Amino acid sequence: MSETEALQKRFAATFMPNYGVPPVAISRGQGCRVWDADGREYLDLIAGIAVSSLGHAHPAIVEAVSRQVAEVAHTSNLFLHEREVELAERVLCLLGGDDPPQTPPAHGGAARPPVPPGGRVFFANSGAEANEAAVKLVRRIAGPGRPVIVAAERSFHGRTMGALALTGKESIRAPFGPFGLTVRFVPYGDARALRAAVGSDTAAVFLEPGLGESGVVPAPEGYLRAAREACDQAGALLVLDEIQSGIGRTGAWFAHQTAGVRPDVLTLAKGLGGGLPIGLCVGLGAAGAGFAKGDHGSTFGGNPVACAAALAVLDTIERDGLLAHVTAVGEHLAAGLGGISHPLVAGVRGTGLWRAVVLTAAVAAEVEAAARRAGFLVNAVQPDAVRLAPPLILSIAEADQFTAALPGILAEVSS
């Protein structure tokens, strides 16, 4: 029995069956490559579901996390620490407007970051928790007179009860209701339906700037602006879930900046921590003042080690010009994949290093498995869509390796 099979057997014997048994046991990583328990190498084009933004074992994260864990690993919310304050300031500065944010020194430097523009943060530990905070925040602000939250069909906001109530995938939501939230679902991308759904009973509209779990489906041009206008007219809050799209994934710090729309509430997680668990709910403008003392909390939220990792992620994206890199490599990858002529390929969608190869048949799981056999980790995010969300440091040469291999992978599936 191989090392992988032995681990799979132990996993199956001890884990609840909600994930099934994963096909690969990852034992280490370096850059965009990972190795399994039997020493097999893969090019990682999914990055732990859009999380490992700097790839694996990046020196900036290794250094920041090691230093922080040696100083203090945990404080709880009973006490504050500098890393969480610094990270809050950095994120608020990134959200500050059209001007490029001033670059504060890496932590430990003498100078202080600039004072951020309006906005306040709440730290959580995951995407679902960031959205739970956002749900409580909008409920608190809107009060009982506005019980409705508008959300999109095919959206994904997480698996906890509040986040799940907003998730527009009937198959994963239905077994767990009722939720105690009144959610009005609208078809994603239909501005007219959205306008019709938002009214005087509406506390907030929750949207992803592009549907991640439904197959990397970008919002149609003008959709987020229409949502902003509908919210402004009705006095509702606009909550954007950038848990998957944020922190450079699309080639901008945040996807909403490209759309020219400012939310009232923003949620982040995944790529922010570069592999360390972190979630963030940001209230911009008046929404930042929505919680009163005692309204919400988290023992681990703002954990110093996770915050140190996130600061290293932001520093490295800035220092290494990774936003421009993501745009350039993303376009190169999409052009390469789009040039593949094969009956199974319908096209490529997405932005930056957030892409889906759209298939003409429901064979994404087979493509994922064949890619794995060829040494590539990709994700069958939908029956007919294969998601690529690699580390933001993916090189042109690495992108080309996958493009060159895909015809052979598809040929194996066809046969």
Ligand X SMILES: Cc1ncc(COP(=O)(O)O)c(C=O)c1O
Helices marked H in 16-81 = 47-50, 59-71
* Site pattern 30..49 for ligand X (x: CB under 6 A): -------------------x
Smallest gap, in angstroms, from Cβ of residue 404 to ligand X?
Answer: 29
- Residue 194 parent element (H or E): helix 191-197
Q: Determine if 128 is a binding residue for ligand X (CB under 6 A).
A: yes
Smallest gap, in angstroms, from Cβ of residue 269 to ligand X?
Answer: 5
Question: Of the candidates 43, 219, 243, 278, which one interacts with ligand X according to CB under 6 A?
Answer: 243
- List beta partners, residue 85: none
Q: Determine if 157 is a binding residue for ligand X (CB under 6 A).
A: yes
> For ligand X, which stretch binds (CB under 6 A), given 4-12, 34-42, 125-133, 360-368?
125-133
For strands 376-377 and 210-211, give the pairing.
Answer: unpaired
Query: Exposed (0-12), middle (13-18) or buried (19+): which is 133, by Cβ within 10 Å?
Result: buried
By C-beta, is 88 or 128 nearer to ligand X? 128
Query: Which residues are CB-neighbours of 89 under 8 A, at least 6 positions away?
Result: 104, 113, 114, 115, 116
Phi, psi for 256 (deg, rounded to 5): -65, -25
Smallest gap, in angstroms, from Cβ of residue 167 to ligand X?
Answer: 8
Question: Of the candidates 122, 123, 156, 223, which one interacts with ligand X according to CB under 6 A?
Answer: 156
Q: Determine if 296 is a binding residue for ligand X (CB under 6 A).
A: no
Question: Of the candidates 36, 44, 208, 398, which one interacts with ligand X according to CB under 6 A?
Answer: 208
Angle at 210 between CA 157 and CA 96, to 5 degrees: 90
Q: Determine if 281 is a binding residue for ligand X (CB under 6 A).
A: no
Query: Which residues are CB-neighbours of 128 under 8 A, at least 6 positions away?
Result: 157, 158, 159, 160, 163, 279
Smallest gap, in angstroms, from Cβ of residue 28 to ligand X?
Answer: 23
By C-beta, is 116 or 301 nearer to ligand X? 301
CA distance 42 to 23: 13
Positions 158 through 197 that interact with ligand X (CB under 6 A): 158
Q: Determine if 52 is a binding residue for ligand X (CB under 6 A).
A: no
Q: Are 184 and 201 in contact (CB under 8 A)?
A: no
Query: How many residues lie near ligand X (CB under 6 A)?
Result: 15
Query: Exposed (0-12), middle (13-18) or buried (19+): which is 190, by Cβ within 10 Å?
Result: middle
Question: Of the candidates 8, 202, 244, 257, which one interacts with ligand X according to CB under 6 A?
Answer: 244
| Chain residues that interact with ligand X, rule: CB under 6 A | 49, 126-128, 131, 156-158, 208, 212-213, 241, 243-244, 269
